């Protein structure tokens, strides 16, 4: 007998491709979610001018927000516009994902995020971001040096300490991890109702969890989708997503 898998919405970015605008999501996010969360995936375009979040949310069992080279526009969390170097921006994705988070939370459906998705969830819950995680001498370096190739980007790692008794500590069976680190933005003020699940050695929040009308919210600043097939801890993150999609406790 064939069992219907839960339907997971996965965010897309609006990016340039071949001289045109395109809806893009890197395969590794989709593959890891399908394989380890055991879900069917639907890609959600960043085209808020053509579709509404509430048209999609009712058809989904959960939402997964991916990483991206783009940053959230600072005005969305109450900050003045940053210098051009703080971009690139993707206002279409900002509008669609923030609307989706709000709608999914209102409907009591799980929301998970990675890197940019982590930042989007924090902003949607009223939190703020800082934009100096790559070059502040008072912080550890959260991004590889300029000019690093793709493998070099994801080879840049640091330790995180996991919160005692937290979802991630229970799932991983340890209170510390080594995680890849590919971000310039980070949490400044944590959103309302969100609880830290992991901290970097410099104190930055690297993961958080929460509840929205009974449904779990979980996000990490690192990239568990990167080479997940060879990383049991990364697979565990996506299996948590699969449990959440099926209404199982985390």
- Distance between CA atoms of residues 61 and 59, nearest Å: 7
Neighbours of 122 (CB within 10 A): 29
Chain centroid to CA 172: 19
Percent of the chain as helix, strand, coil, to the nearest 5? 30, 25, 40
Q: What 8-state DSSP symbol labels residue 233?
A: H
Q: List active site positions.
A: 115, 223, 225
Q: Which residues are CB-neighbours of 79 under 8 A, at least 6 positions away? A: 128, 129
């Amino acid at each position: 007998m064939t069992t219907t898998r839960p339907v997971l919405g996965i965010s897309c970015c609006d990016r340039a491709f071949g001289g045109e605008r395109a809806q893009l999501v890197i395969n590794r996010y989709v593959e890891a979610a399908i394989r380890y969360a055991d879900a069917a995936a639907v890609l959600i375009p960043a085209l808020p001018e053509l579709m509404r979040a509430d048209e999609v949310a009712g058809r989904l069992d959960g939402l997964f927000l991916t990483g991206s080279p783009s940053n959230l526009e600072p005005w969305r969390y109450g900050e003045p516009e940053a210098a051009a170097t703080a971009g690139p921006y993707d206002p279409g994705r900002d509008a669609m994902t923030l609307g989706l988070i709000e709608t999914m939370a209102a409907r009591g459906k799980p929301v998970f995020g990675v890197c940019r998705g982590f930042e989007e969830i924090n902003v949607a819950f009223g939190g703020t971001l800082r934009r100096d995680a790559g070059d502040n001498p008072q912080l550890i370096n959260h991004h590889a040096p300029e000019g690093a190739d793709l493998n070099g980007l994801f080879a840049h790692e640091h330790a995180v300490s996991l919160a005692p008794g937290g979802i991630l500590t229970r799932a991983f069976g340890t209170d510390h991890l080594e995680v890849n680190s590919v971000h310039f933005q980070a949490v400044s003020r944590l959103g309302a109702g969100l609880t830290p699940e992991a901290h970097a050695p410099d104190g930055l929040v690297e993961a958080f969890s929460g509840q929205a009308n009974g449904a779990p919210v979980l996000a990490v600043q690192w990239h568990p989708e990167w080479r997940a097939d060879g990383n049991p801890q990364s697979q565990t993150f996506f299996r948590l997503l699969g449990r959440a999609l099926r209404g199982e406790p985390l």
